């Protein structure tokens, strides 16, 4: 097994080796030092093995700031096409938006994300989609630490017998709760932006009780 892994590693493309190198240094626990990559994917459906990513949208968040020009949006050429999802994200199979092959898009994305902490709403879904795409292209899984805003929200709910916590909270539900405009809902980048603001508002709520919140607290 080890042998296999080692052999495989030698064949990995340069961009992946560069990506792995970025994780060498140990990171501090202070949220102010961190770069977060808030992302969302639009896909052909919800099946990890059958469905494909059509679009990845991501923005960088550092010290509560988002630089618009650092936003990342990529559309991917796919042979699989889910008719059911098209009305939601509005990405048509043969539309004229410039698109990349899956491998090209992944390379760009991996270069973009670096060692930042990934934030997404129901993060497991987006990460599984991306990791499956990596696997199809002979690459290992992402190494990034990640946070899920749906999970983080639950930390803000006060402890009381009177409230029944739900298992899942949708992005729409939470955008309403925190009065965030839903204008660009269902575009990858629009959802990434909503998620970023949501993350900041949740963080603010968690810090209201006066405690300094560290990355460790969020990962709990």
Partner 1 sequence: MKNTISQRVADFLKNFPPFNGLKDDDLQHLSEQITIIYQEKDSIIFTEKELGHDHFYVIHKGAVSLSRKTNNTIVDMCDEGDIFGLRPLMANENYELEAKAHEESILYAIPIAIFKPLALHNTAVGNFLIESFASNTRNPYSKNHRGKLYSDSTESDKNTSELPLVDLQPVHYSKKIISCGPRTTVKKAAEIMTTKRVGAIVIVKDLLPIGIITDKDLRNKIVTGDYPITTAVSKIMTTPVITYPKNLTITQAQMAMMKSNISHLCLTKDGTVDTKLVGILSKHDIMVALGNNPAVLIKAIKRAKKVKHLKPVRKSIMGLLQGYLASNIPMTLITKIISELNDACLKQVIKISLEKMETKPPVKFAWLTLGSQGRSEQMLHTDQDNALIFEDVSEEMLPKTTTYFLAFSTLVTQGLNEIGYEYCPAEMMASNPQWCLSFSEWKKTTSHWIINPGVDEVLLSSIFFDYNLVYGDVSLVAGLSEHIFYTVKKYPIFFVHLAKGALQNPSPTGFFRKFLVEQDGAHKDTFDVKSRALRPLTDAARVLILSHSIKSINNTAERFEKLAELEPNNKEIYMACSYASKALLKFRTKQGLANNDSGRYIALNNLSKEEKIKLKRTFKTIKEIQELVTLRFQLKSM
Q: Can you give the binding site for partner 1, defined by CB under 8 A?
A: 57, 59, 64-69, 71, 73, 157-158, 160-163, 176-177, 179, 183-184, 187, 189-190, 193, 197, 200-201, 204, 207-211
Comparing CB distances to partner 1, the nearer of 16 and 153 is 153
Comparing CB distances to partner 1, the nearer of 20 and 73 is 73
Q: Which residue's structure tokens are 């017998």?
A: 161
In whole angstroms, how far apart are CA 58 and each of 126, 154, 205?
12, 24, 24
CB of 139 to partner 1, least distance (A): 26
> At 148, which helix (H) or strand (E)?
strand 146-148
Comparing CB distances to partner 1, the nearer of 58 and 133 is 58
CB of 208 to partner 1, least distance (A): 7
Residue closest to 174 by CA, chosen among 150, 190, 158? 150
Q: Which residue's structure tokens are 């700031």?
A: 65
Comparing CB distances to partner 1, the nearer of 21 and 97 is 97
Comparing CB distances to partner 1, the nearer of 40 and 51 is 40
CB of 2 to partner 1, least distance (A): 43
CB of 131 to partner 1, least distance (A): 25
CB of 66 to partner 1, least distance (A): 4
With the C-alpha atoms ordered 128, 151, 27, 204, is the resulting torsion angle positive or negative?
positive
The torsion angles phi and psi of 136, rounded to 5 degrees, stand at: -60, -30
| Under 8 Å between Cβ of 145 and 50 | no
With the C-alpha atoms ordered 116, 117, 123, 128, is the resulting torsion angle positive or negative?
positive
């Amino acid at each position: 097994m080890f042998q296999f892994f080692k052999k495989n590693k030698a064949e990995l493309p340069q961009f992946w080796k560069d990506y792995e190198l970025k994780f060498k240094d140990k990171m501090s626990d202070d949220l102010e030092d961190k770069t977060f990559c808030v992302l969302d994917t639009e896909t052909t459906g919800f099946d990890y093995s059958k469905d494909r990513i059509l679009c990845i949208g991501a923005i960088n968040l550092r010290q509560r700031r988002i630089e618009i020009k650092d936003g990342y949006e990529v559309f991917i050429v796919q042979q699989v096409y889910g008719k059911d999802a098209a009305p939601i994200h509005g990405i048509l199979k043969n539309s004229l938006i410039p698109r990349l092959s899956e491998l090209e898009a992944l390379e760009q994305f991996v270069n973009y994300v670096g060692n930042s902490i990934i934030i997404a709403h129901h993060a497991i879904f987006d990460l599984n989609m991306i990791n499956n795409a990596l696997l199809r292209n002979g690459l290992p899984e992402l190494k990034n630490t990640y946070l899920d805003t749906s999970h983080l929200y639950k930390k803000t709910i006060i402890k009381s017998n009177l409230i029944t916590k739900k298992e899942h909270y949708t992005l729409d539900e939470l955008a309403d709760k925190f009065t965030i405009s839903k204008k660009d809902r269902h575009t990858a980048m629009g959802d990434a932006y909503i998620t970023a603001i949501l993350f900041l508002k949740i963080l603010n709520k968690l810090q209201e009780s006066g405690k300094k919140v560290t990355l460790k607290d969020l990962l709990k």
